[in-house]
Structure formats: structure tokens, C-alpha cells
Structure 1
Amino acid sequence: MAVWALGINHTTAPLDLRGRFAFALDQIAPTLQGLRQSLAGASARHPQIETAIISTCNRTEIYCAGNETAVDHTLGWLAQSGGVSPALLRSHSYALEDGLVARHAFRVASGLDSMVLGEAQILGQMKDAVRAAETAGALGTTLNQLFQRSFAVAKEVRSSTEIGAHSISMAAAAVRLAGQLFEDLSDIKVLFVGAGEMIELCATHFAARTPKAIAIANRTLERGEKLATRFGGEVMRLADLPERLHEFDAVISCTASSLPIIGLGAVERALKKRRHRPMFMVDLAVPRDIEPEVKALGDVYLYTVDDLATVVQTAQANRQAAVAQAEAIIDAGVQSFMHWMDLRSPPAGAAGAAGGAAVVPLIQQLNAQTDAWRAAEIARAKKLLARGEDVDAVLEALSRGLTQKMLHGTMAELRAGDAEARAQTAQTVSRLFLRSQTKSSL
């Protein structure tokens, strides 16, 4: 089984390119179906392909598992879905295979690959992506094992290190920037566009500074009302936003819209009504919620997720010891995952090439066989005890019955074949059954 991953993130691709490959959770299932069909059609060796997609503001990553790697085909499919050339996507993407996939997934889950080092939000986003893949029927044993181990490693990193102790969240960074523009945040009116997790985090941070007014604009009023009630604010329809934009000093937007919802014209009209009093705007959405041309306006201070990078990467030196500890935990996790993968691979050598059997199925067969022998001997012993037979004699018979069943095939092999075959069998039997005696004689 081969594992590979293809992705773009905040360090490899600009914001607008990342926006082309942003998938909402409700788009994951049909997208995964299209990818699996494409891979299956490209090769007869990919009928049972496993796939998952992680899509956040800062990254879009495809994880796959199959009989053989198909990185180029995956890249071509993703480029087509985003409407760009494979060459352009390749220049801004990274492709990983096998152990490097595990290392990357573990680092992402642990917050080591995030714009905000140590942030915890990515772990929840990964879990959402895995649930979506599982619901779509695209997740198999290999990727499920990869992600479950990712979550376990992330939990150990967060409980054993201080990786998140000094992190500055995107929400806190937005408040810090607003504080640089406005002398007193308690004198401003703040509008939040959207009602998702990121907006909730931002609203929590801004609410702690007790602004003059808070409003939530959302496509679904019910969800907006719930958030507005929590922070003592008002809710408004998204359609009313252009006419009321001028009322707010700060606007923070993060929706799942595929097109900008705050245009240049609406902001220009708002500034005119405000008599050019400054507006602070933060666009945390990918793709963008606010048209990029807005940034050129003289009285607007517009920040995107990428613009916040320099703010959130403070206190880096204080986290280096925690990072080293986290990497050590991840190293151990990668080794464990690769060992698990090796057990599922066909054995090397002629026997493996001829039989093509994996170790795990063989182990399962051995366990099933020994369980059957054990059950048979226990049933026989119970019958003897029910007839009143001596307990010591029954136990003796049970142990002899088990050992005879277990050694029957081995004894038959030792007596069969020519002298050379018997000698090879004898060496194997000694290694398997006489290990302690062999070690003690050395």
C-alpha cells in the first residue's frame, strides 16, 4: 500500500491561488467522489483508492492511499478543478510520499505547520475533514490509521509540551492591529460578517474590550441571532450590509462565500457617508470576502490572513524548546506508523513475490486457528470435568492436546523432504520455538 499527499499552504501559495482550491465541508463529498473516479479511471490498480481533503484558510491538502502512488495524476486533477495549469500548481505545491506524509500530517495536527505556531483550531478542522471523508465512503483502513495516529500525536504534543502557551491567535492579532489604529476600542462599533468558528473567536476577543456596539451579519439569521445574543449585539441580514456599512468602524469578515460580498463600490459609499473617518477591515476568508481593490483606498486599513502573519509569529524564541520536544514525539509517531505499514506489506523475497500475502492476514489466520484449537480443548476438558474426572488429569490432557495440535504441522515438516529441506526446516523451527535456549547458549 502506498500513501501520498499533495498540498498548498500559506508558505507556498499566495492568497488568491489558495482561494481557487478552497472547499467548503458540503463540497468535500462530491469532490472526493470525483477524485476517486479520476484515479480509478487512470489505472486499473486504483479500484479501492482512499482519499481525504483538508481545506482551511491556510491550506488545501489531498491525502491518498492506494496500490501505487499517483502524485502526477492527483496534481493534474487538482489543477483542473481550480482552473489553473499543472505547471503553475506544481510551482506552488508540495508532494509527499509514505513516511513524509505521516510526518507532515502529524505536524499539521500538532499545530507545527500553522501560521500561528501551536494553534489548536487546525486539529478540529482535520477531524471535520476526516468525518466528511468517512461519510463520503472515501476513507479506508490506511488513511483512517494515519489520521487517528495524527490526532493521538497532537494530543500528546499538547499535553507534554508548551507548544501553544505563547501562541497569538488570528483573532487576538486582529484586536492588536485595531488597537494600533483606534485610541480606545471601547469607542468603536464592530461588525462581524459570518457566524462560523473564526468569527466567534474574533467576537470573543473584541467583546473583551467592550466596544460601543457589536453587530453580526449572516446569511442565516437564526445562527447570527445566537451569536449576537451571546455578545449583547444585534443581528442583521447580509443583504442589508451595503446600506449599513458606514455605521461601523471595524469590519471582520469570514464566510464560505465563493465570491466577494463586500465590494469596492460599497466601501467607497460607506467612506463618503463617514466623511472619510478611517475604517479597519480584516478579511479572514479564503476565497476573499472583501475585494482586494479596497486596500488601495486611503481611509481603509484592510488586512488579510497573510497580512496577519508577521503579527502572529511573535515570541518565536520562547517556543523553540517546545518545538524540539514536539518534533521528538512526532518522530516516534512516524516510526510507529511506518512499522504498521510494513506489517501490512507483502513479505520480501521469493515467498512474498510468489504468494503476495501480507503479514497482517497471516497473523489473523494464526490467531483464528489457535483460538479454534483452544476452544476445542476447553470444550473437551469441560466434558471430562462434568463426568467427574480428576482435575489434574484433565489439565494435563488439555495442555498435551494444545501442544500436540500446535506442533503437529511442524513435526510433519521435519520428517518430510530431502536432507537439505529438513535442515532448513530445522533451522527455522529452532529460531521460532527454541529462541530462549539458543540465546542462553550464546
Structure 2
Amino acid sequence: SQLFEDLKDIKVLFVGAGEMIELVVTHFAAKQPKAMAIANRSLERGEKLASRFGAEVMRLADLPDRLHEFDAVISCTASTLPLIGLGAVERALKKRKHRPMFMVDLAVPRDIEPEVKALEDVYLYTVDDLASVVQAGQAQRQAAVAEAEVIIDAGVQSFSHWLGQRDVVPLIQQLQTQADAWREAEVARARKLLAKGADPEAVLDALAKGLTQKMLHGALAELRSADPAHRELTMQTVQRLFLRQER
């Protein structure tokens, strides 16, 4: 995403059709690139994976002639020899008029010749580079945690302000303690998910939903279990507390 401003404008080539490539294709498909193609030694297996994501399938033998068509190339096969050589990439760059190419080699041994990394218009990453990429991502995840804490604190403060208008100090303190416990639990859960590499936006969404469910659980439980004789009063109380109109 740092190399290409909009992933919807790029063409992506996946070399291989194993479990790792399947995971990567799933990730890229969610970004809706302009086009995707899968090159595999077994056309049948390649076609099976390609059909799931609306991708084109091609033969490995066609790689040298078609490499220039793609802005991003991700490779992970069981080949014992490189499938993409320096010469093939140089020819592809010439046909592309040296528009940059993003390449990821997840194979061991490598699918892409190491010399390709020296080319000026190629950004090649291997499994050896992934550790540093993951470390860089840690900083972003920590930033997401901080953002989540700000969101929760803002909600708790708003709730506390509303409670402050009531003359029931002991109850206010109990509610404040409960709200703080909810916040700490949700933040701890978010930290664990982010540490595992979960998408920060999805974690924030789950965090907000979790906090909302906790806040509404008591009211919903009361509504469901209220005695018929007192149901109207319960409904009025819940409505007054949770459905107040903003002025």
C-alpha cells in the first residue's frame, strides 16, 4: 500500500496454488485489485483456486512472456530451482518502461533469483525480510491500541458525566467501577488480538461492539424477565435511561 496508492489499480500475479498462496490471494481479493492471475504447474489446481476469486489462470511456462503485465508478484512454490530469473525481470521492466514492480518470495528455497533485489525499479521481499516488516507493524498496532483506549475513555467519561447529575453517589461509584472493569477487559482483549496480527480496524469495531453489549446487557435482561405486572414500569425506566433525546 505504500508503493501503490490504490490497490484497485494494480494487477497481481500469484505463482503457486498451495495453502500459503491461498491465504495471500484471500487477502488481496479483499482489496479488490484491478486483476489477479494464478500461475501454477498444475493447471487443474490453479483453476480451482482461481475460480474462487475470479482470477485468471496461466501456465508457469508463460511467466517470462507475461511478467511485464503485473505490478505485484507473490510466489510460493515447492520448486527446488528459481522460477523467475534476473533476465526475465529485466525484460519485464523494459516492457513496463521501468514502472516499479512489487515482488514477494515466500518460498524456501527461493522462487525468485536473489539478484533481482538489486534492480532499481523492483521492490523484492523474501521470508528473511518479513521479520522486520512484522516489527514495523507492531508500532502501528500499538497506535491502534492507544486509539482504542481514547475511544473507550471518551465513552466512559460521557457516561460518568451523565451519572454525575444524579444524587446517588454509592450507586454512581459502583457503576463507575463496573464501567472501568468493562473498559479494562475490552482493552486487554483488543491488545491480544492486535498482538496476533489482527486487522486494527476490525479490532476497534469488535471492541466497540463488546463495550456496547456489556452496557446494554443488564437492561435487555430486565426487559426479558420483567414480571407482567411491572413490565410497563420497567420499559419506561429503560427508555428513560437509555433512549434519552439529545437536546
Q: Give the TM-score normalised by structure 2.
A: 0.56
Q: What is the match of residue 69 of structure 2?
A: 247
Alignment partners' CA distance in 1, 2:133 and 2:120:
22
Aligned residue among 46, 59, 82 for 1:224:
46
Q: How far off its partner does 1:231 sit? A: 0.7
Amino acid at match of 1:269: R
Aligned residue among 176, 186, 196 for 2:8:
186
Alignment partners' CA distance in 2, 1:289 and 1:236:
17
- Indicate whether 1:262 and 2:84 are aligned: yes
SS for the counterpart of 2:64 is helix
Alignment partners' CA distance in 2, 1:309 and 1:215:
27
Aligned residue among 107, 116, 123 for 1:294:
116
- Indicate whether 1:285 and 2:107 are aligned: yes
Alignment partners' CA distance in 2, 1:306 and 1:186:
28
SS for the counterpart of 1:203 is helix
Q: How far off its partner does 1:308 sit? A: 1.4
Query: RCO higher in 1 or 2 (8 Å CA, sep ≥ 6)?
Result: 1
Q: How far off its partner does 1:229 sit? A: 0.6
Amino acid at match of 1:300: V
Q: How far off its partner does 1:309 sit? A: 1.0
Alignment partners' CA distance in 2, 1:303 and 1:191:
15
Amino acid at match of 1:208: A
Alignment partners' CA distance in 2, 1:274 and 1:245:
10
Q: What is the match of residue 196 of structure 1?
A: 18
Q: How far off its partner does 1:312 sit? A: 2.1
Alignment partners' CA distance in 1, 2:73 and 2:60:
13
Alignment partners' CA distance in 2, 1:302 and 1:271:
14
Q: How far off its partner does 1:261 sit? A: 0.4
Alignment partners' CA distance in 1, 2:83 and 2:133:
26
CA RMSD of aligned residues (A): 1.9
Per-residue CA deviation, residues 284-310 of structure 1 (Å, 9 max, x unaligned), is 000000000000000000000111112
- Indicate whether 1:307 and 2:129 are aligned: yes
Q: How far off its partner does 1:311 sit? A: 2.1
Aligned residue among 26, 49, 57 for 1:235:
57
SS for the counterpart of 1:223 is helix
Amino acid at match of 2:104: V
Amino acid at match of 1:249: D
Aligned residue among 4, 28, 35 for 1:206:
28
Alignment partners' CA distance in 1, 2:132 and 2:97:
31
SS for the counterpart of 2:129 is coil
Amino acid at match of 1:246: H
Q: Give the TM-score normalised by structure 1.
A: 0.32
